[in-house]
Each structure stands twice: as structure tokens, then as C-alpha cells.
Structure 1
Amino acid sequence: MAKPPPKTSKSPKPVRAPQGLPDKDTLIAFLREAGEAGKADIARHFGLKGADRRALREMLRELEAKGDLGKRGRRGFAEAGALPPVGVAEVVERDTDGDLYVRLSKGGDDAPLARLAPDAAEKTAGAPGLGDKLLVRYERLETGEIEARVIKRLGQSAHKILGVIRKQRREIRVEPVDRKSRDVLLLSEHDGRDLKDGDLVVAQIQLSGPRERYGPKNGKLLEVVGREDEPRAASLIAIHAHGIPTGFSPQAEAEAEDAKEPTLKGREDLRDLPLITIDPSDARDHDDAVFAHPDDDARNEGGWVVWVAIADVAAYVRHGTALDAEAREKGNSTYFPDRVEPMLPERLSAGLCSLREGENRATMAVRMVFGADGKKRSHRFVRGLMRSAAKLSYEQAQDAIDGRPDDKTGPLLDSILKPLWAAYHVMLKGRRARSPLAIESDERRIRFNPEGEIVSIERRRSLEAHQLIEEMMVQANVCAAETLEQKKTPLIYRVHDTPSMEKMQSLGEFLETLGISWSKGEAPRTDRFNKLLAETREGPHAPIVNEVVLRTQMQAHYNSDNIGHFGLNLAKYAHFTSPIRRYADLIVHRALIRALGLGDDGLTDGDISQIKDTAEKITFAERRSMAAERDATDRYVASFLADRVGATFPGRITGVTRFGLFVRLEETGADGLVPVSTLGEEYFVHDERLHALVGERSGARWPLGMAVEVKLREATPVTGGLLFEMLSEPAKADPNAPRPRLGVRRQFKDGGNTRGGPPRKGGPGFSRSPGKPGGKKRR
């Protein structure tokens, strides 16, 4: 392959937005510039309304049918053959000059090749090789060619597998722990001579050398990482499977150890403020403290002053240090049920940056003034020195307010806790007027004994104390974004896009099947969703409506450009309150220091030049951590239930797919699959509009949200898979509903079919349940 001429990457000139229905070339030019766009985005860009919007839908259908446009996931349309702005790509080719070329992992063999930018080795700690998977950003050069610039090398090469050793007869097999993987490897006698059944290993597929055309591939042992029967095996598997960076370099550890206790130099003395921390009972780091008192300004009668003090991590983690480079690489702390992989070394995360009771700590604090109507009137940031007056758990604080103070909270009740609650109840007026999205979530907590064995899985209590801290943190985050915008200082926003019109249309069509009216043409608004949730909360459809509204929402992420936060109903929002565990917050702290002239350790020109890349990196890191946390939780839950195979459980259908039903158990929150092939002799069709499996002959239904009883057939701790047998009967047919179209009887991806046979272990039918770290919400 000839090497493309090197050119500097430049963005093309933006396409101007004419008013009115565009012609084909103008529409494609817009999509080429945007990368991808939904119908609503296109209509907004060209100012289309009413009949023009309907005409646009027809034009998009025609262009898609002709092959000029292609669908891009669920979000909308892109020019046919176009690459997304950011995607996961695999290194597939090297030319005679040594340049590497990548292809989108999900793009198939027809996806276009893109040359990897020459700085790939610098961004991946070593040159990538054939088969490596990378997160890349595509950029168009002046020549019109597309270049792939590396954002992140992903955790495992396409040819590496994390698996468990199974010794069978004369074979030594590596069975993957990833439920989606079908690659079983055979190790040589030399590699496997010291291995034991149940060892967790990393092995590599051998791409050369003799092997059978069918059956397991040959593999090479790379590393032994532990045992599948170790109490902490689930988090260990998740760390290796998702490539979570672990530990710290000697240089970073040395920098942390050299950190000094803070002094008053360059700081305001806040030690007389009785700030307190309120955290989960098992929290090891404390990065936020709060205090409130009535406003003594006569012009603000009934108003309150609320202080939020945050650990001043920027004083210890500076641009250009090993600490900073490794924190940026990790992106955030990763929280597992039994351990945490911190973003910063313990000397900082649990030491100098943790707002310990009775100890002097450096802080970035914000003083906020609220009127009696709950609206924020003003705020100012302070770089200070504080001393926490008390460390409380959520339960302690709530019990004290509810009339059950203990020896510690009793003396604090009148002077600190009651004023905090009074200020919060005033802030609630502003929150209710703003009407952030009020979707209910059911969080579970896994409890372990000292030996690391699971003793219980409990539902987390939702306390007013949680909501108090959350609202005060949200308001502090808003203050940070407002100040930095006012000072015209670059920052990383926390953004949450508005649901697409396609998702809104699907929601409306589904609600029609429940007899719930919903205007499909209205723009998405949080108060509309909240009204729907409130009206159905006490009725039989509450769980399914809550679930479908949740699925209508987009996923929050980090961005250097602001599009607002739909879920919180805020125009400006940035993460400021958790710099110990989130790199985004550290960047916002540095930006405030620079903007307000609070020191020489603020945002550097180097930070600013990388800010777009940093936002993409930490978004990827957050999603990587969320996936790892969820997988570890799944494995621990499967381990907890493994000795209850054959038991029956009440649950609810939380997912409907063509290959089966996902059921969540009420007792533990565990998710598992009921394969469609086990639902009886009748053939069931997946009706996407109804969110149900519908019998083609009887019309009987298995709808999303239905309460059911299931029997646990199989629990596989190493993969986190649960398999259920349905004991309940389907809902009766709706006599007014049309019968579903006959489906095509074909083999399912999970190994089952329309008439029988459970899915293969590790297939896509196994559960995934959400996990969240330590009571801290990701907003």
C-alpha cells in the first residue's frame, strides 16, 4: 500500500446553515462536517418545521435506500462509508514504509482503512502492533484523507484472552471469563506443566504455526494472575479483563511521599467554620465537607449561606509530574464491592487530600448564598485551610435528624445538622422549580466477612441525607462552570444530551399500548418525564414506565464543548466536587486557580492544549470502570447464588430480546436470562414496539416490567452468568392487538433456537447488573 503524503490535520470549514429543506449535496456536506446527526439535529440545523420536517424524513429514507447515507447506531445518519468522530479500531495492516493502518472493529471487512498518526507510540507507551485494539479519533487532512489519532490503547489486544485453566484428559484449556468470547485456547504441555485446574491466566492466540482448522486455537501462556476460587477473584478478573490500570510507578509513589502538610501561606483561614464530612460508613477518602448558616444580610431575609469545601488536590498533583500523568491515564478511581483501585496513591487519597476529622487540610471551597425561594443569589470561591469538625456516615446524620442522635451527633444536632437540613429544604424549592429528572434506581450493596466471603446482598436505603449532599454538590458544580465561563477559561463540562426525537417517538408508541397519552411532537423536557413518572408511580405500569423512560435517555459524558445537562436540567455543569477520584474535577480545580489568580499551580497551557483529548480519555476511562464494576458485581452475585441452584425467586422482566427475557430478582437485584427456547412449544416473536415477546399463535405476551417467578437453573461465578427457568404464565393476549408477523426461524447467536436447547455458556444471554461506587452518584 502506498504511503499517503503527510499533511497537518486541519478541520474543514464549517458548513453554513441555510434555512429551508436542503438539497442532497448540502445535506451530505453537513453530515460530512458533523460526522453524524439525528433527524432532530438536522432539522434544527436547517431550521425545519412542520411539513419540511416530514419532507426531510422522506429524503433521508430515499438517500438511505440509495446507499448515499448510512445509519450510525441509534443516534442518526452519516454519509455512506463515513467514519465516526471517535471509535474502537483494530490495527490490521502495515505498509512497506512501516506505517500502520486501522479499521473500525465493528465496521466489517468493507470498512475503510485509516492511517495511524505517527505519534501513536507516544500515546500508547510503545508502538502498537497488528491485532491491537485502540480508541481513536478520526480527523480529515487537507488532502481529504482520514487519519486516525490514538486516544487510548484498550486493555487487551485482540489476540489476548483472560481465562481459567481447565485440565481435561491430556488437554490444557484456557476457557475465557468473558461471556461474549468464544475463543477457547489449548496450551502446550511445556506452558501448562506448572498450572493447576482453576488458575486464572492471560494467554495469547498463536497466529502462526500448525493448528486444526476447526476446534480450539493454540495459545501461549503470558501470565498467571490468580485463582478462580480466591475470595477477591471477581474484582481481579474485572481489572484484567477491562484493562484497569493498577498501582503506581515508583516515581509517582515518591512524589506522593514527598508531599508536605498544608500551611496558611496563600490561603484563607477557614478552620473556625465547623465543616463536617458525610459519607458512606465504609468510605476511606473524604473529599467534600459542608456547613450552612442563616444569611445575616437584611436584604436576604430567610436566606441561607451554604459552604462546600473540597480537597485541594491541585496543590499536590501538578501538570508534568508522574502523579498527574498516571491520574490522567486512570481517569478515575474504580470501585469494586470488595476493593478500590484509586486514582491517586494512598498517601494522598486517604491521607493529605482526605478531609480527616480534626486535621488541617488544604481546600478549594465555595460560599453560596440562597434566597428564601431556593434560588442561588451569589457565590465566591476561596482557596483555604480547613479542619473538619466531624466525620459522619449518612446513617448517623439521618438518625440524628430523625430523633435518634448518638454520642457523636448529639452535640452537633442544633449547631450543625439542623441548620444543614434547614438550608437544604430551602434549596429544595429551587430544585423542584428546576425539575431534574426523577427516575428511580434500585442500588444493592454486597457485604463481606473478614475472610472475603459474601454474607449478604442488601438494598441500599435512600436517605434524605444522600439527597442533601447530592444537591449541595450539584450546586457547587454549577458554580464552578458559571465562574469559568464568566472568566472565559477552558474547562471540561459534564454534559448530558437531550433524548433524540426517534427515542421520543418510540416512547410515545409504547405508551400508547398501555393506554397512556403522550404527545409525540413535543420537545423532550424533564418536567414532562417527571409528570409521566408521577402519574404512573402508584399504578401497575410503574416499573415498566420507569425502565422505558430510563432507556430513552442518552449517556452523560465529558466534553470541552458545552451542550448542557438534560437530566439535571442545567445549562452549565462541571464536575468540581471529587478531585480525589475524578481527573475531570482536578482539571476544573486548576482552571479555577488560573481564572481567579489563586496560585501558580493552576491550569497550564499544556493542560489547555490537551483538554479535548483529556475529555475523550476520561469519558472512555469512566465507561471502562463502569463496565468493570458491573462485571465484578455480576460475578460476586453469581458466586453468592451458586449454592441456591434449584431455588425459586420472585422477579421482574427488565429486558426483552429476540433470544429471551432478562429477569431481575427482587431479593438480590441479580439479572439473568430465561432463553426463548424454554418458554414453551409456541414460537415467540420479539415486538420492539410493545417491548414484549408475543406468541405468534395465541398472542400471549411476556412484556417488559411483568412480575414473574423463576427457578435458578445455573449460576457460573467465573463469568457472572445466571440462567433461569420461567415458572409463571404469560400475560393473556390483547384481543384488540394485531397478531405479530411470522418471524424467520433461525439459529440464535447464543446457541439456542426456536424449539429447544439452552444457550451456550458465555453467550450474550447472560446478565449484567449495574454497580455504583460507594454511594457516590455519577451525574
Structure 2
Amino acid sequence: MTQKEKLSAFFADDLYVPMTLDDIKAVLGVPDGDTAEFENIIKELCDDGVIVKTKKKRYVLAKTLGLVSGKFQSTERGFGFMLCGDGDIFIPSDKTGGAMNGDTVSVRITSRKTKTKRGEGEVVSVLKRASEYIVGTFEKNRNFGFVVPDDRRIKQDIFISKYKNSGVKDGDKVVCKITEFNAERKNPEGIITEILGNYAEKGVDVLSVIKRFGIDDEFDVKTLAEADKISEEIKESEIQNRRDFRKDTVITIDGADAKDLDDAVCVKKSENGYILSVHIADVTHYVKENGAIDKEAYKRGTSVYFADRVVPMLPKKLSNGICSLNPRVDRLTLSVIMEIDEKGNLTNSEVCEGIIKTKERMTYEDVTKILDGDKELCKKYKHILDDLYLMQTLALILKGKRLKKGGIDFDFPETKIELDENGRPIKISKREITIANSIIEEFMLMCNKTVAETFFWASVPFVYRVHEKPSAEKITAFNEFVKNMGFSIKGASEPHPKEFARLLDKIKNTPYERIISTALLRSLMKAKYSSQNAGHFSLAFEYYCHFTSPIRRYPDLAIHRIIKEFLNGGLTEERINYLTAFTERTAVHSSETEITAQEAEREVCDIKKAEFMEDKVGGEFDGIISSVTSFGFFVELENSVEGLVRVADLDDDYYVYDEKTYSLRGERSGKIYKIGDEVKVIVANVDVLSHKIDFVLS
């Protein structure tokens, strides 16, 4: 038990009575030399919302005062929710206590949760601010200015009194530091710390998002200096005790613009089936534990991919250089060798340190063309043609087995955005999923699953990728929803993922596909990282982890280090204790950085879509209703751009939102708008700054 846990237990004891800090020190006999550390732990407990300091300067357990703590998540409409383990607590707009999105808050419960209603509360105090910095647009008045936050969930502008001689201009994108948060009904005050430039300037739109989400787009001097010391050549001493795979036909298959090549593959035919080798960059050979690069990679958690740039987790010397499995050069790997029978069953596996020399750097596009019979490319790559055909065969076997077992296969394609030299979008389309993508996807899934199962049974601390079972409440609601369309889920109280996969297969290419797929996705939990194995529901895997991308994901890098340590002599009890705490911390932090990266990437995508549609106001397009809300419905065009048709603009009837069927129904006409309906729309308005697109029905 840590000192923090012991102190928490002291406050939770039934015999504890509220005491001052001096009283607590006296009762616990805190030595003078430990005073500073002790007071720091008390402060952390206050910041965490475990204890509260009263007006009489006595400390008391927060629960005894009816207070709970958690992260505050605000909405554009002013109200918000406090996220906690017992379910989200609704916070009305006049009870937010000046809390901003992401703040850790202490909340007094004013209304308890029922079967049909969320619990409600009011923010008593802000325990910890998510950030002191706000990104927004500067608006100049005669003697002062304001920063209008880009985050629409922040409802108050930031008052700027001191901006003269700073060079800031009206309409500039800026970063400001809040110096005084003030009361709820008074604007926060701040100072401008960075001028990003006019929004119309090249790259300022993306830079604003990077700054807003707190993403570091540059490495500090210490990290770069450590990277510079790493040799770009592999010495003979580094390959001793490694398996040599350099004579094998090992290839990489990635997007044409990819520069950080994490994985390479090789497939051979065997007497009983196939031997699949997945070779992953041995990043931990270069990124030493607790070094400057390692600490920076942990902090970042992941690489972030934007339309016009990549913000890497590792310095480019590593991510694009010595760690990247570039063509026809020696590279160190952590390799997984899997023996698979003709039915796709894993019969044997081995994890080892290796060295490879890839034969070719292939792209998804070229591999797909080759497998489709492109004569010119088949001739160019005839030396690996048989290998590609073998990969295709094995991938189809693995996919067939995975889907038969119950893996849920959603068909929501990603967006592909092409930019001109000024960063303006010139083409937006849906990214095509090809057989080449499926080859790599199936091989990586098999590898990740194999590694997770191997090290689960090795009983070592680990970071798993988990997708927990959906709640009974959500599944019951989903089952009622699909019953209205003539479908059902067997074992609705606790269904196997196979039931959902069967349903998705049944509705494929039918009018029900979009609406049921969307409803199912909303019913499922979100995948996350965990130090405890809980399986992966949607993949129907009992064991799963992320092992195959250590250049761009920290959890992969973390388990590489554990695996190598296990392979090279095992783990001491002291080391296991350390790694147990480390994997718990890493799982939580990596889940948070993943969400931040996803939100930032989505934000840039929305900005570029708005920029693309800016000159198309008045244009007519075909689309499909992708989502329905009480205030209107979103329509997705063929190129994946989405816009809102507002209820206020549906002037032929009064429409009421039906939450159970995700639809809008006209009271007089009975006309229904639901997910999956095809409609024709006209672009009515595009607001690039708020990246919102408005449609009206044509």
C-alpha cells in the first residue's frame, strides 16, 4: 500500500474526526524531515477530490459531505456532465461553477440516478484545471480585446487587457494563458502568449488545432540530442543472438505516403499449412527506458496524423530512419513466427529478436493491382509474385475464420483528403479498402492476438487492448430497436458477438444496413488499453493487444520492452512490482492520449471538409441521412462530407424526434426521416471557422 493509499484509509476510518493539518501531523507522528512530502500528498488528495479542506481549515473525506469528483465534460449548449465510475452526472448550465471542459471538479449530488433519469449535481469547486491555455480568435475593441475560444464548449470569451505592442491583429488565431478564471458569470482574464497568424494563412488552421489539443509539434533539445547520438548503422555486435531472417522474402505493404514503416511480413507454405512471420521494428533497442526519448514518447502516447502533416511520437531520425523497416537495408526486429494450418488455426508460435532485410517496399495500390492481374506490375515484381498470392490465400483463410467465429466487421470507410501546395483541399473521397489492406490487417490481428495470449499465460505485467462487453441496458434497447424492423438478437441478455456479426451480414446491401450498423456502434463500448485482460468483444478474441506499431503507439513500445526482458532472462519480483504499476499507469495515459489524437484528427478533417465545400454554396448533391437528432439530421455526401439539415428548415410539417428509432416524424403527415434514407440537398451555408456545413432539402 502506498503512502497515498494509507493516508486515504486514515481519512476513511470511522473513528476519524475532522482535523487541521497540524493535528493530523501530530496524530500520525510525521517527522520534520518528511513534512514537505506529507503536505504534498495531502494536496494531491485534495486535487483528486478524495478529501476537502473546510472553511475552518479542517480536512474531511469528501464523501461524508455528499461530494463526488471527476472530469467535467461540457457541451456547446452550456450544460455538461461529470464523468465518474457510477455513471455520468448531469450538470445544468447554471450549476457549472465556472468549470471548463476537461476540468476535474467536485460535485454535490442534487438528484439521485433512477432507471429512467441520470443523476444531477452542481459543481462546488474546480479541483484541477485541464489547461491554463486557450486557443481562439482575437477580437479587438478600442481599449481591450477578447479571445473567442475555438472550443465551442467554452462559453465565455477571454478578456485581454494587455495586448498593445504585442503585434496581434484583429482576427488572428492566438494562444492565450488564463491568468484569472474569475466567477462563473464574469469573463476569465488572460494574456496572449503566442500569435499563430491569420486563419487564412497556410497551415494556421491545423496549427490552431495542434495548439488547442496540447499536442507537441516539436521535440525539445534534450530529446533531439539523445536521438542524434543513435547510430544509423547496425553493428555486428548488435545482431549477435538474433535470428537472421535476411534471406527470407520479407516485404512491407503500406500507404504510398507512409514513411514510418513498423511492420514487414513473410509467408511460406509448410507441410501442415503456412508459416506466417510478422517482423516489427525493434524500437526499444534504440529507445532506452526512462531516457529523454522514452519519456517524451510516453507523454505523447501516439503519433497524430493530419491532412497536411504528421506529428510523430518519436523523432524523425528514428521514426523515418533507423527504426523504420525501409527497403533493402538491415533492420532489427522483434519477430513473431506463427505456424497456421489450412483452416486458419494457430498450431505453434514463437517470439524472438531478429534481423531482416526487406526485398521490396510495396504499396496497397500496387499489391491490389498485382493481385487483380496488372500485367506491367506483375512483370516488375515477378520475383515476389508467388509470395503475394500466398499472402492473399492465407489472409482470406484467416478472415473467414475470424468472421465465422463472430468478429464484427463494420464497413465505415475513412476519409481521404488531398491538398494543394497551399494546404487547400482539392479532393475529398472515401478511402478504398482493398485486398492488400485486408492482408496486412489480418496478419496484424493474428500477430497481436498471438502475442497477447502468449504473455497472458506467461503471467507478466502487460498492456492489453480491450473491448468490454456492452451493458445489458444498451443491448436490450438495441434489440427492441431492431425488432421494429423484423430482426432480433439471440441471447439478448448477454449475446455473443457472433449474433451481431450475423445480423450485420443479414442486412448487408439492404435499406437497413446504415441505420442498424450505426445503432449497433452506439450500443458498444469503446476500446481502450488496460493492464488487465478483458478480451476484445467486437473481434471475438479472448486475448488481444497492440504490438505491431511501436514507432507510433506507446503501448506497443511498452510491451516490446517487457517481452524482450522476459526473453532475455526473465523478470525479478522487484521488477514485476515496478512493471505492474507502470502498465496500469501506461494503459490509462495511453487511452487518454489516443482519444486526444482522435479528436484532433477529426477536427482537422472537419475543417478541411468545410474549406472544400466553401465555394459550393447553392450546389445540389445526393446524400444519405447518417444521423438524426432532436434539432435535425445529418446528411453524408458520397465523398464523406457531412452537413446538417435543421428541423427549423423542415417547413412542411412539425417534426418530433423519436429517440428509440433515431427518427423524425411529421405530426400531420406522418412523414419520417431516418438513418439510411436517401435525400437530395442544397448547400445553404458553410462556416469554415466553426467548420459547420448547413444543408436544406432540395
TM-score normalized with structure 1 length: 0.72
Q: 1:630 aligns with which of 587, 595, 602?
A: 602
Q: CA deviation at 1:714?
A: 1.9
The C-alpha deviation readout for 1:166-213, integer Å capped at 9, x for no partner, is: 34677644222223333233433744762223311122456389x997
- Take 1:639 and 1:113, find their aligned partners in 2: how far apart are those partners? 34
Q: Are the equivalent residues in 1 in contact too, given 2:256–2:364 (CA < 8 A)?
A: yes
Q: Are the equivalent residues in 1 in contact too, given 2:344–2:397 (CA < 8 A)?
A: yes
| Counterpart for residue 642 of structure 1 | 614
- Take 2:226 and 2:375, find their aligned partners in 1: how far apart are those partners? 42
| Counterpart for residue 287 of structure 1 | 262
- Structure 1 residues 16-415: aligned runs within 5 Å: 103-106=69-72, 156-157=131-132, 160-167=133-140, 172-188=145-161, 190-191=163-164, 194-205=167-178, 207=180, 219-260=190-231, 261-262=233-234, 263-296=238-271, 300=272, 303-406=273-376, 409-415=380-386
Matching residue's letter, 2:396: H
Q: 1:670 aligns with which of 614, 620, 641?
A: 641
The C-alpha deviation readout for 1:688-736, integer Å capped at 9, x for no partner, is: 1121122334332222222222222221222211122233xxxxxxxxx
- Take 1:620 and 1:690, find their aligned partners in 2: how far apart are those partners? 32
The structure in which a higher percent of residues are helix is: 2
Query: SS of the counterpart of 2:626?
Result: strand
- Take 1:619 and 1:9, find their aligned partners in 2: how far apart are those partners? 28
Q: Are the equivalent residues in 2 in contact too, given 1:90–1:132 (CA < 8 A)?
A: no
Matching residue's letter, 1:614: T
1:447 aligned onto 2:418: yes
| Counterpart for residue 725 of structure 1 | 696
Q: Are the equivalent residues in 2 in contact too, given 1:172–1:192 (CA < 8 A)?
A: no
Matching residue's letter, 1:288: D
- Take 1:563 and 1:196, find their aligned partners in 2: how far apart are those partners? 53
- Take 2:82 and 2:650, find their aligned partners in 1: how far apart are those partners? 42
Q: Are the equivalent residues in 2 in contact too, given 1:654–1:664 (CA < 8 A)?
A: yes
The C-alpha deviation readout for 1:376-406, integer Å capped at 9, x for no partner, is: 1111012011111110100111111111154
For residues 265 and 164 of structure 1, do their structure 2 counterparts lie closer, same or farther at Cα, with a shift above 3 Å needed? Answer: same
Q: 1:693 aligns with which of 653, 659, 664?
A: 664
For residues 259 and 702 of structure 1, do their structure 2 counterparts lie closer, same or farther at Cα, with a shift above 3 Å needed? Answer: same
- Structure 1 residues 310-709: aligned runs within 5 Å: 310-406=280-376, 409-519=380-490, 521=492, 523-597=494-568, 606-666=578-638, 668-680=639-651, 682-709=653-680
Instruction: Name the count of aligned residue pairs.
Output: 612
Q: Are the equivalent residues in 2 in contact too, given 1:237–1:632 (CA < 8 A)?
A: no
- Take 1:440 and 1:208, find their aligned partners in 2: how far apart are those partners? 45
- Take 1:415 and 1:586, find their aligned partners in 2: how far apart are those partners? 33
For residues 634 and 134 of structure 1, do their structure 2 counterparts lie closer, same or farther at Cα, with a shift above 3 Å needed? Answer: closer
Q: Are the equivalent residues in 1 in contact too, given 2:490–2:499 (CA < 8 A)?
A: no
- Take 1:615 and 1:622, find their aligned partners in 2: how far apart are those partners? 10
For residues 639 and 169 of structure 1, do their structure 2 counterparts lie closer, same or farther at Cα, with a shift above 3 Å needed? Answer: farther
1:8 aligned onto 2:34: no
Matching residue's letter, 1:652: I
For residues 555 and 229 of structure 1, do their structure 2 counterparts lie closer, same or farther at Cα, with a shift above 3 Å needed? Answer: same
Deviates more, 1:248-257 or 1:420-429: 420-429
- Take 1:91 and 1:642, find their aligned partners in 2: how far apart are those partners? 52
TM-score normalized with structure 2 length: 0.80
- Take 1:625 and 1:721, find their aligned partners in 2: how far apart are those partners? 21
Unaligned ranges ≥5, structure 1 = 13-86, 115-129, 139-151, 728-779
For residues 467 and 11 of structure 1, do their structure 2 counterparts lie closer, same or farther at Cα, with a shift above 3 Å needed? Answer: farther
- Take 1:208 and 1:353, find their aligned partners in 2: how far apart are those partners? 45
- Take 1:110 and 1:381, find their aligned partners in 2: how far apart are those partners? 47
Query: SS of the counterpart of 2:6?
Result: coil
The C-alpha deviation readout for 1:216-251, integer Å capped at 9, x for no partner, is: 665432221233112323321221121123322212
For residues 638 and 91 of structure 1, do their structure 2 counterparts lie closer, same or farther at Cα, with a shift above 3 Å needed? Answer: farther
For residues 414 and 442 of structure 1, do their structure 2 counterparts lie closer, same or farther at Cα, with a shift above 3 Å needed? Answer: closer
Unaligned ranges ≥5, structure 2 = 11-46, 63-67, 85-97, 107-126
For residues 462 and 112 of structure 1, do their structure 2 counterparts lie closer, same or farther at Cα, with a shift above 3 Å needed? Answer: closer
Q: CA deviation at 1:325?
A: 0.9
For residues 604 and 341 of structure 1, do their structure 2 counterparts lie closer, same or farther at Cα, with a shift above 3 Å needed? Answer: farther
Matching residue's letter, 1:398: T
- Take 1:155 and 1:552, find their aligned partners in 2: how far apart are those partners? 29
For residues 316 and 154 of structure 1, do their structure 2 counterparts lie closer, same or farther at Cα, with a shift above 3 Å needed? Answer: farther
Deviates more, 1:342-351 or 1:506-515: 506-515
- Take 2:359 and 2:128, find their aligned partners in 1: how far apart are those partners? 44
Query: SS of the counterpart of 1:610?
Result: helix
For residues 286 and 405 of structure 1, do their structure 2 counterparts lie closer, same or farther at Cα, with a shift above 3 Å needed? Answer: farther
Deviates more, 1:694-703 or 1:563-572: 694-703
Query: SS of the counterpart of 2:423?
Result: coil
Q: Point out which structure has higher relative CO (alpha carbons under 8 A, 6+ apart).
A: 1
| Counterpart for residue 16 of structure 2 | none
Q: Are the equivalent residues in 1 in contact too, given 2:341–2:347 (CA < 8 A)?
A: yes
- Take 2:82 and 2:626, find their aligned partners in 1: how far apart are those partners? 37
- Take 2:459 and 2:308, find their aligned partners in 1: how far apart are those partners? 42
For residues 388 and 111 of structure 1, do their structure 2 counterparts lie closer, same or farther at Cα, with a shift above 3 Å needed? Answer: closer
Q: Are the equivalent residues in 2 in contact too, given 1:277–1:286 (CA < 8 A)?
A: yes
Q: Are the equivalent residues in 1 in contact too, given 2:335–2:352 (CA < 8 A)?
A: yes
- Take 2:571 and 2:648, find their aligned partners in 1: how far apart are those partners? 65
Matching residue's letter, 1:440: D
- Take 1:680 and 1:559, find their aligned partners in 2: how far apart are those partners? 50
Q: Are the equivalent residues in 2 in contact too, given 1:92–1:103 (CA < 8 A)?
A: no
Q: Are the equivalent residues in 2 in contact too, given 1:319–1:604 (CA < 8 A)?
A: no
For residues 326 and 533 of structure 1, do their structure 2 counterparts lie closer, same or farther at Cα, with a shift above 3 Å needed? Answer: same
Matching residue's letter, 1:242: F
What percent of counterpart residues are identical? 32
Q: CA deviation at 1:509?
A: 1.7
The C-alpha deviation readout for 1:144-180, integer Å capped at 9, x for no partner, is: xxxxxxxx987633xx431112346776442222233
For residues 604 and 222 of structure 1, do their structure 2 counterparts lie closer, same or farther at Cα, with a shift above 3 Å needed? Answer: farther
- Take 1:320 and 1:421, find their aligned partners in 2: how far apart are those partners? 41
Q: CA deviation at 1:96?
A: 8.7
- Take 2:473 and 2:143, find their aligned partners in 1: how far apart are those partners? 55
Q: Are the equivalent residues in 1 in contact too, given 2:72–2:102 (CA < 8 A)?
A: no
- Take 1:113 and 1:180, find their aligned partners in 2: how far apart are those partners? 16
- Take 2:376 and 2:259, find their aligned partners in 1: how far apart are those partners? 22
Q: Cα RMSD between the aligned structures?
A: 3.7
Q: CA deviation at 1:506?
A: 1.4
For residues 131 and 259 of structure 1, do their structure 2 counterparts lie closer, same or farther at Cα, with a shift above 3 Å needed? Answer: farther
| Counterpart for residue 76 of structure 1 | none
| Counterpart for residue 758 of structure 1 | none
- Take 2:345 and 2:177, find their aligned partners in 1: how far apart are those partners? 58
The C-alpha deviation readout for 1:90-130, integer Å capped at 9, x for no partner, is: 9998989899999435499999999xxxxxxxxxxxxxxx9
